[in-house]
């Protein structure tokens, strides 16, 4: 097999569908706001890592309300929905019920209910055993039947008034054929097409790609109805199709004679899992790598995943700020900023759930050598605090405050500082920004201050604040696109795509205005002009991310942090 000749395409529509995404967000928000035990009626998604993460947050999946022991709890109805009778039963038990039914499933329930109340019988075209169907049947006033497709229409009796609806993840062709045949089975027929848009889009892409692919890999749970449907489409149209749940299910012989591979996934398959599969396919197809190139690639991933590159970026920013402030270069302050950032980012990354293609490196760092990497991170943090103490005790106190919040952030509610941090939306980006701006810009200004901090230093601190805030938000964008489990403490998650990028472009304009003001003040004009030129890089990156052109996580993180290195290099040359 020659990898060059094999074309690998990953579906643009792959990743969590909006219904699943919103249900997960809702549950995570609840776990932050409330201390009560949370149950989901059935698993939110069929993914082991996500389920484990939810368990750690005191969120358990139950199959029936009978499993609830303490009634002082919250029960979440998942995206599939449940019958109204079951919902009433849940409420009568006395526990708090939170409805995370997908709005598109609710629309289907409503269509059924309206016609059922007018005396219509209901036919649902879907999977008889699926939870969504059980929920939909509950709205039919006891006059509902389920067929899996047009081939079962002949088994039905004649109806006076009939409403035909689809399971939201049904294939449009199957539904249309069934509806057509049902015309003969009813005096009055209402066709309610309740197939959801994300499913239509996903299936359309699979149809288009399958007809031109030699091998289609469908990723997702074997018990997921929508994944099975994607597989059936692929099996029909592609030369070969496989349905897998994990990278280990791939084998070399699957790729014999294959020139074009298409990878798609079901609605509850996280993006990072799809990236893992894509990477595994590349590994199977590629020629044995030059050991030197392999080593370089591993070191690069290690530097990014282990936050070493981020620490170097913070050192670069400190250097830029010192030059911009016109204070003497202090290697001690640069080392302090780097150690501080390294410590916090390593500890936070170790606790992330779900990762992109950096999984092997993550395994190496945070599983195989977990104690070692934690020890290095804590020692770095303590070293940063010791260095801050040698400057003065006020610097130490502020550094200790930011470090304390940073290390407690990913933990549960028993840590007061963690709760403080999670109190308001976007808090994670703001605390990160204050911590960096303090260490990289304010401490150098304090060191260089005679009687008081100069106005140039104030501009430099503001410059650092804006730059780091943009970095933090962009990293958050990448995390959400990798389906990492993050909450509203992440700016992007809290405000959404368009407001995020309006804010970022506005901050970019302020960043440029800050530098331009320094230029007008005739302050180190060569340096200021160089930095203005260097910022064009961020403008390009912002524009690409705004158009959702976001690469896999390791590359994206590299592209974000490189901005600081570019600015430091231009500062050095200026
Ligand atoms: S597949 Fe469609 S209907 Fe089902 S949860 Fe996702 S968006 Fe909602």
Ramachandran angles phi, psi of 123, nearest 5°: -115, 125
Q: Report how far ligand 1's centroid is from the alpha carbon of 17 (Å).
A: 6
β-bridge pairing 144-147 and 37-41: unpaired
Q: Candidates 169, 197, 224, 266: which one to mutate for ligand 1, based on the most atoms within 8 Å of Cβ? A: 169
Atom from ligand 1 closest to the CA of residue 17: 6
Indicate which residues carry an active-site annotation.
132
First to last CA, the chain: 50
Q: Report how far ligand 1's centroid is from the alpha carbon of 101 (Å).
A: 9
Rounded Cα–Cα distance for residues 323 and 362 (Å): 36
Atom from ligand 1 closest to the CA of residue 108: 3
Task: Residue 280: name the closest of 365, 368, 360, 361 by CA.
Answer: 360
N residues, the chain: 574
Q: Report how far ligand 1's centroid is from the alpha carbon of 199 (Å).
A: 7
Task: State the greatest distance between any 2 C-alpha atoms of the chain, in Å, as a whole number.
Answer: 93
Task: Residue 254: name the closest of 264, 240, 236 by CA.
Answer: 240
Rounded Cα–Cα distance for residues 381 and 518 (Å): 34
Vertex 559: Cα angle to 555 and 562 (nearest 5): 130
Q: Which helix (H) or strand (E) holds 404?
A: helix 393-408
Q: At what angle do helices 370-391 and 393-408 cross, to 10 degrees?
A: 160
Tell me whether residue 467 is exposed, middle or buried, using C-beta atoms within 10 angstroms of its C-beta: 0 to 12, 13 to 18, 19 or more. buried
Rounded Cα–Cα distance for residues 525 and 3 (Å): 50
Strand partners of residue 38 = 59, 74
Which residue lies with its CA nearest to atom 7 of ligand 1? 19
Atom from ligand 1 closest to the CA of residue 197: 2
Q: At what angle do helices 18-33 and 103-117 cross, to 10 degrees?
A: 110
Q: Does any ligand 1 atom lie closer than 6 A to the CB of residue 24?
A: no
Rounded Cα–Cα distance for residues 120 and 124 (Å): 13
Q: Does any ligand 1 atom lie closer than 6 A to the CB of residue 168?
A: yes
β-bridge pairing 7-10 and 260-265: parallel
Q: Does any ligand 1 atom lie closer than 6 A to the CB of residue 206?
A: no
Q: Does any ligand 1 atom lie closer than 6 A to the CB of residue 136?
A: no
Q: Does any ligand 1 atom lie closer than 6 A to the CB of residue 169?
A: yes
Q: Where in 22-137 does DSSP place strands (E)?
A: 37-41, 59-62, 73-77, 96-99, 121-125
**pLDDT one digit per residue (tens) for the chain, 574 residues:** 544 578 889 898 887 888 988 888 888 878 877 778 899 998 887 766 677 778 877 888 898 888 888 888 899 999 999 999 999 988 888 889 999 999 999 999 999 999 999 999 999 999 998 999 999 999 999 999 999 999 999 999 999 999 999 999 999 999 999 999 999 999 999 999 999 999 999 999 999 999 999 999 999 888 788 888 899 999 999 999 999 988 888 888 898 888 999 999 988 888 778 877 887 888 788 766 677 887 888 888 888 888 899 999 999 999 999 999 888 899 999 999 999 999 988 887 766 654 444 456 666 666 666 777 788 889 999 999 999 999 888 889 988 988 888 787 665 544 444 455 455 677 788 888 999 999 999 988 887 655 567 788 899 999 999 999 999 999 988 887 766 666 667 788 888 889 999 999 999 999 999 999 999 988 888 999 999 999 999 999 999 999 988 887 888 899 999 999 999 999 999 8
Q: Does any ligand 1 atom lie closer than 6 A to the CB of residue 45?
A: no
Q: Does any ligand 1 atom lie closer than 6 A to the CB of residue 20?
A: yes
Q: Does any ligand 1 atom lie closer than 6 A to the CB of residue 444?
A: no
Rounded Cα–Cα distance for residues 142 and 128 (Å): 15
Sign of the alpha-carbon dihedral angle for 401, 402, 408, 409: positive
Which residue lies with its CA nearest to atom 2 of ligand 1? 196
The strand order across the sheet containing 73-77 reads 59-62, 37-41, 73-77, 96-99
- Residue 122 DSSP SS3: strand
- Residue 163 DSSP SS3: strand
CB atoms within 10 A of CB 445: 23
- Residue 243 DSSP SS3: strand
Domains of the chain from N-terminus onward = 3-14+199-285 (3.40.1010.20), 18-101 (3.40.50.11270), 104-195 (3.40.1010.20), 296-573 (1.10.600)
| Whether the predicted model's global pTM rises above the 0.85 cut | no
């Amino acid at each position: 097999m020659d990898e060059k000749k094999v074309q690998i395409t990953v579906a643009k529509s792959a990743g969590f569908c909006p219904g699943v995404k919103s249900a997960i967000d809702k549950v995570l928000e609840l776990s932050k706001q409330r201390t009560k035990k949370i149950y989901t009626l059935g698993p939110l998604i069929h993914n082991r890592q996500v389920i484990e993460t939810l368990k750690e947050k005191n969120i358990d999946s139950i199959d029936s309300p009978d499993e609830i022991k303490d009634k002082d709890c919250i029960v979440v109805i998942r995206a599939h929905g449940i019958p109204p009778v079951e919902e009433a039963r849940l409420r009568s038990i006395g526990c708090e019920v939170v409805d995370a039914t997908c709005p598109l499933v609710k629309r289907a329930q409503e269509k059924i209910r309206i016609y059922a109340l007018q005396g219509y019988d209901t036919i649902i075209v879907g999977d008889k055993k699926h939870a969504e169907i059980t929920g939909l049947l509950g709205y039919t006033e006891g006059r509902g039947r389920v067929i899996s497709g047009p081939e079962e229409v002949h088994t039905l009796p004649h109806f006076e008034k009939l409403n035909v609806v689809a399971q939201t993840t049904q294939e449009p062709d199957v539904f249309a054929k069934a509806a057509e045949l049902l015309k003969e089975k009813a005096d009055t027929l209402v066709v309610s097409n309740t197939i959801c848009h994300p499913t239509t889009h996903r299936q359309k892409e699979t149809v288009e790609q399958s007809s031109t692919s030699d091998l289609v890999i469908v990723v997702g749970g074997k018990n997921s109805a929508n994944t099975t449907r994607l597989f059936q489409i692929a099996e029909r149209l592609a030369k070969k199709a496989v349905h897998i749940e994990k990278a280990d299910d791939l084998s070399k012989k699957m790729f014999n004679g294959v020139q074009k591979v298409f990878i798609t996934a079901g609605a509850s398959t996280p993006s990072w899992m799809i990236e893992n599969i894509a990477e595994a396919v590349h590994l199977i197809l590629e020629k044995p790598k030059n050991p030197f190139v392999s080593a370089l690639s591993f070191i690069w991933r290690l530097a990014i995943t282990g936050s070493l590159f981020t620490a170097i970026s913070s050192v670069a920013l400190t250097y830029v700020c010192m030059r911009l402030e016109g204070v003497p270069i202090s290697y001690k302050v640069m080392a302090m900023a780097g150690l501080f950032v390294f410590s916090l980012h390593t500890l936070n990354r170790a606790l992330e759930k779900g990762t992109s293609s950096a999984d092997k490196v993550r395994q190496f760092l945070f599983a195989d050598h977990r104690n070692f990497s934690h020890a290095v991170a804590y020692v770095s943090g303590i070293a940063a605090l010791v260095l801050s103490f040698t400057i003065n005790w006020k610097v130490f106190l502020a550094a200790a405050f930011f470090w304390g919040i940073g290390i407690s952030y990913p933990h549960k509610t028993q840590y007061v500082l963690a709760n403080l941090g999670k109190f308001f939306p976007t808090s994670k980006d703001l605390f990160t920004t204050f911590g960096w701006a303090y260490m990289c810009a304010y401490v150098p200004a304090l060191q260089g201050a005679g009687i008081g901090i100069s106005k140039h230093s104030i501009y430099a601190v503001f410059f650092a604040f804006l730059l780091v805030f943009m970095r933090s938000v962009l990293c958050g964008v990448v995390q959400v696109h990798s389906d990492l489990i993050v909450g509203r403490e992440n700016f992007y998650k809290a405000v959404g795509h368009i407001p995020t990028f309006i804010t970022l472009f506005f901050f970019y304009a302020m960043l440029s205005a800050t530098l331009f003001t320094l230029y007008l003040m005739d302050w180190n004009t060569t340096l200021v002009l160089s930095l203005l030129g260097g910022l064009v890089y961020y403008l390009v990156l912002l524009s690409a991310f705004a158009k959702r052109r976001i690469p896999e996580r390791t590359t994206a993180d590299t592209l974000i942090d490189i901005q600081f290195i570019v600015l430091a290099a231009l500062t050095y040359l200026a």
